[in-house]
Structure 1
Amino acid sequence: MKLKVAIIGTRGIPNYYGGFEHIAEYVSAGLVNKGYSVTVYNSHNHPYQADDWHGVKIVHCFDPEYLVGSSGQFVYDLCCLLDARKRDFDVILLMGYTSSSVWGRLYPKKSVTINNMDGLEWKRAKYSMPVQRFLRYAEKLAVKYSQYFISDSLVIRSYLKDKYNVDSRYIPYGADLFSDVERKSATNAVPDKDYFLLMARMEPENNIEVILDGFNNSTSDKKFKVLGSTDSRFGKFITHKFRNDERIQFEGANFDNSVVRALQNNSYLYFHGHSVGGTNPSLLEAMASEALIAAHNNPFNKSVLNSDAFYFDDSSDVRRLVETVRREDNERKMIQNNLHKIQFLFNWEKVINEYENFILECYNNQRNEVIANHRR
């Protein structure tokens, strides 16, 4: 049976933004290759304007975020859900809940609803206390109105079980191993191992200031490349604060995956400061790109990296790492161990198969329940 699956809750594919768009891109194309009919909802002002992407159907819905700010996400999600109600999707995969769960009563009743629960959004420092309270409420609504759940982190799965007594299926993100072609290209494109690297959205909980403070106070003569848009208020603050350190290079956002992977592969040490959320795709990409990693010391990162990374809590830890880390046998073993994780735990083929299996399981469970109720 060719199931009809819709993916709602992202800005759209191909990915020009972040994590959920990243996984929507891979999973949608992967399911199409397996014979599923897949529709992804895109913002009407997404750079990709065609109605088909590698066999995935694209529906463009009105998104006023560019006019009214973040509140426009609620309108966008509402438009997507109202459109989905007119169609006969077997399964709807909701990516996150921040701006969609308030419309929970409008989730299409005839579709099986699976929610890929976001990270602990209410912990993000960028949000005010009223917004954090709302996000806690939105999380509760997501649990109330969704039928099945996915966690991209073991930490999130435990949280949902402890907080709501909800069972969720753990399915992480994936990444592709660094190929020989990419290796050759990286060698030619980027200077080798003479810089540190950080790649993240310019947000406080990504510990960008902590990392750059540590580097700023170090005696290193290497460069520090920072990838990520600095257009936000925090981004402008960061660039202003470190404007006098000529070693720190703010290079803006870059969605050319080949360039990003080359930069990761050739970095001396890759800093990953994310402290909120699940399994972060940029971390997996760094692992797959054979980067040596220094990560913020928290359960999310440690559940992925285990002992195959350096960890930091504050700027003094960062300074110590910048000044003392050497790329020797033990460090090379850490890189190989992380490659092994990508190959056997976080590869896209495995992730897509797990999505397919869970979608089929949820659909069959729901169908059997309907049949049982009808017989009563």
Structure 2
Amino acid sequence: MPTRTTSNRTVALIGTRGYPSYYGGFETAVRRIAPYLADHGWDVTVYGRDGAQREDDPTRDPRVATRITRGVETKSLSTLSYGFTAVLDAALRKPDVALVMNVAHGFWLPLLKLRGVPTLVNVDGIEWERAKWGTLAKAVFRAGARTTAWWGDGLVCDAKAIARYWSRVFGVDGTFIPYGGDEPRSLPVPPESTHRGYALVVARFVPENTIEPFIEAAAVIAKTHDVIIVGSSGYGGELDERVAQLADANDRVHWLGHVSDDDRLFALWQHAGAYFHGHSVGGTNPALVQAMFCGIPIVARDTVYNREVLDDTGLFVEPRADAIAEAVTAVLDDPATQDRLAAAALARAREHYTWDGVCARYEEELARLAGR
């Protein structure tokens, strides 16, 4: 059973854009972990950036305090600068424990160590292997990982494969705690589609998400089935142009761009006939877990991370356009396979990836460190 606190302990959550924020996986985790800790007797403070959180969010828990620190708003310096000012402020305030998201903040952990604040660090994926980062950024992440291994009191790895990597490369052990998901209510079929009648992809347009091969596969799939593409690069570019051209040239291809409405996204997942998940780096991917909770047939790029999450509840393919098109089309043409995969994915999500289970494990680790 997870440890329960008997008196108010203080915890600082550092390294995200704030609370509540909807920017990415870390922010989603904080939206669930912070209220859970408050429910279990913790005084919770979440550090963030000015303008990055939704103050009028009806789901905001008033028991969760927020502190805004300054930083430099550039692609290369924002994470490090905001992390530094947040760690500095937390070191002065001296909480009982700090939950730090992202190894880039490993550089600043000695400041908390000097003040006697133990740290639990979520190491995320292996950022220095992501194609979207340049040489300098990769070096910074790698150095941050090394300093995290030296100075972090506890590590959270969101996949067992990530934990094995850290043990092998950095010589430290981490605690496996994945991301969680929500099982949505039954939602109506999206207007641009029919139930189980379309292929779906949801991803940022970066090379490691297998977008280029999927674009080629989509042209083949669209000969017989609708294809819905959710996502973009965020700044325009070649991949956005190729998807726009494909959608303009083919009535069966629908490009929706970024979808921020959860109900709309969940409905797209719920009713898809085949969801292609092409993420190739990182650990437990939040989008994959959420897709499983929506109960859909999943075709995934064959990686150690995707196999760990899905086990035998998905189909796995090589990152080639012909392999993707063949597998996705086969699932779209087979209602029995669709039903089997959808039911299996939902059952696995319910067993392994609930937010209650995830949050309980975070609290257990934080309580252990705070009580040292």
TM-score, L = length of structure 2: 0.90
Task: Summarize the alignment of residues 70-89 of structure 1 with structure 2, pairs less than 5 Å apart.
Answer: 70-89=76-95
What do the CA deviations read for 1:297-323 (whole angstroms, capped 9, x no partner)?
100000011121122211111111233
Change (3 A) 1:73 1:172: same
| Structure-1 residue corresponding to 2:265 | 260
What do the CA deviations read for 1:266-312 (whole angstroms, capped 9, x no partner)?
11111111111010111010000011111111000000111211222
Letter in 2 for 1:303: E
| Structure-2 residue corresponding to 1:291 | 296
What is the identity percentage for the equivalent residue pairs of Structure 1 and Structure 2? 28
1:38 alignment partner, one of 33, 41, 44: 44
State whether residues 17 and 53 of structure 2, in contact with CA within 8 Å, keep that contact through their aligned partners in structure 1: no
Of 300-309 and 51-60, deviating more is 51-60
| Structure-1 residue corresponding to 2:172 | 166
Unaligned runs of 5+ in 2: 1-6
State whether residues 190 and 266 of structure 1, in contact with CA within 8 Å, keep that contact through their aligned partners in structure 2: no
1:223 alignment partner, one of 222, 226, 237: 226
State whether residues 97 and 142 of structure 1, in contact with CA within 8 Å, keep that contact through their aligned partners in structure 2: yes
What do the CA deviations read for 1:62-120 (whole angstroms, capped 9, x no partner)?
2432xx3331221111111111122131110001112x122233225221111011111
Between the two proteins, the alignment pairs up a number of residues equal to 356
Matched, 1:57 2:65: yes
Letter in 1 for 2:241: H
| Structure-1 residue corresponding to 2:4 | none
Distance in 1 (CA, whole Å) between partners of 2:221 and 2:199 is 12
Unaligned runs of 5+ in 1: 367-376
Task: Summarize the alignment of residues 228-243 of structure 1 with structure 2, pairs less than 5 Å apart.
Answer: 228-232=231-235, 235-243=236-244
Runs of 4+ in 1 over 6 A off after TM superposition: none
State whether residues 45 and 63 of structure 1, in contact with CA within 8 Å, keep that contact through their aligned partners in structure 2: no
Deviation at 1:50, TM superposition (A): 6.8
Change (3 A) 1:177 1:218: closer
| Structure-2 residue corresponding to 1:211 | 214
| Structure-1 residue corresponding to 2:3 | none
Partner SS for 2:23: coil
Matched, 1:200 2:203: yes
State whether residues 198 and 272 of structure 1, in contact with CA within 8 Å, keep that contact through their aligned partners in structure 2: yes
Distance in 2 (CA, whole Å) between partners of 1:348 and 1:131 is 31
Change (3 A) 1:69 1:162: closer
Letter in 2 for 1:359: L
Deviation at 1:28, TM superposition (A): 0.7
Deviation at 1:186, TM superposition (A): 2.6
Distance in 1 (CA, whole Å) between partners of 2:191 and 2:245 is 27
Matched, 1:105 2:105: no
Change (3 A) 1:239 1:145: same
| Structure-2 residue corresponding to 1:5 | 11
Partner SS for 1:231: coil
| Structure-2 residue corresponding to 1:186 | 188
Name the Cα RMSD after superposition.
2.0
Change (3 A) 1:107 1:220: farther
What do the CA deviations read for 1:132-151 (whole angstroms, capped 9, x no partner)?
23322121011111111111
State whether residues 130 and 208 of structure 2, in contact with CA within 8 Å, keep that contact through their aligned partners in structure 1: yes
Partner SS for 1:69: coil
